[in-house]
Amino acid sequence: MSQPSPTRSAHQAPSPDAAPPEVEPPFGPDLSIGAGTTTPYEDYVRASVLTHLQQLQSDDPGEMVFLVTTQVMELWFTVIVHEWQTAADALRRDDLPVATDALRRSTWELEALNAAWKPLARLTPAQFNAYRGALGEGSGFQSAMYRRLEFLLGEKSASMLVPHRGSAEDHAALEKALHEPSLYDEVLRLLARRGHPVPEAVLRRDVAERYEPDPAVEEVWAAVFAGSQDSELARLGELLTDVAELVWRWRNDHLVATRRAMGAKMGTGGSAGVAWLEKRARKNVFPELWTARSHV
3-state DSSP call for residue 228?
Answer: coil
Smallest separation, CB 144 to ligand HEM (Å): 10
Using the rule CB under 6 A, give the single segment among 107-115, 171-179, 232-240, 275-283 that binds ligand HEM: 275-283
Q: If binding is defined by CB under 6 A, does position 73 make contact with ligand HEM? A: yes
Contact criterion met (CB below 8 Å) for 108 and 79: no
Q: What is the DSSP secondary structure assignment for residue 293, as one 8-state letter?
A: G
Number of residues that bind ligand HEM (CB under 6 A): 25
Q: If binding is defined by CB under 6 A, does position 261 make contact with ligand HEM? A: yes
Q: Which of 87, 88, 91, 123 binds ligand HEM (CB under 6 A)?
A: 123
State the DSSP H helix or E strand holding residue 129, giving kind and residue range, or none if neither: helix 125-132
Report the candidate in 90, 92, 108, 110 with the shortest Cα–Cα distance to residue 100. Answer: 90
CA dihedral sign, ordered 52, 58, 59, 64: negative
Amino acid identity for residue 88 in this structure: A
Report the candidate in 217, 277, 287 with the shortest Cα–Cα distance to residue 251. Answer: 277
3-state DSSP call for residue 30?
Answer: coil
Indicate the residue among 189 and 265 with the shorter CB distance to ligand HEM: 265
What values do phi and psi take at 123, rounded to 5?
-65, 130
Amino acid identity for residue 228 in this structure: S
Q: If binding is defined by CB under 6 A, does position 276 make contact with ligand HEM? A: yes
Amino acid identity for residue 13 in this structure: A
Q: If binding is defined by CB under 6 A, does position 141 make contact with ligand HEM? A: yes
Using the rule CB under 6 A, give the single segment among 12-20, 48-56, 139-147, 191-199 that binds ligand HEM: 139-147
Q: If binding is defined by CB under 6 A, does position 127 make contact with ligand HEM? A: no
Indicate the residue among 39 and 252 with the shorter CB distance to ligand HEM: 252
Amino acid identity for residue 192 in this structure: A
Q: If binding is defined by CB under 6 A, does position 21 make contact with ligand HEM? A: no
Q: If binding is defined by CB under 6 A, does position 120 make contact with ligand HEM? A: yes
3-state DSSP call for residue 160?
Answer: helix
3-state DSSP call for residue 4?
Answer: coil
Q: If binding is defined by CB under 6 A, does position 156 make contact with ligand HEM? A: no
Using the rule CB under 6 A, give the single segment among 37-45, 97-105, 255-263, 288-296 that binds ligand HEM: 255-263
| Residues in 77-96 that interact with ligand HEM by CB under 6 A | none
Binding site for ligand HEM (CB under 6 A): 69-70, 73-74, 120, 123, 139-141, 143, 146, 254, 257-258, 261-262, 267-271, 273, 276-277, 280
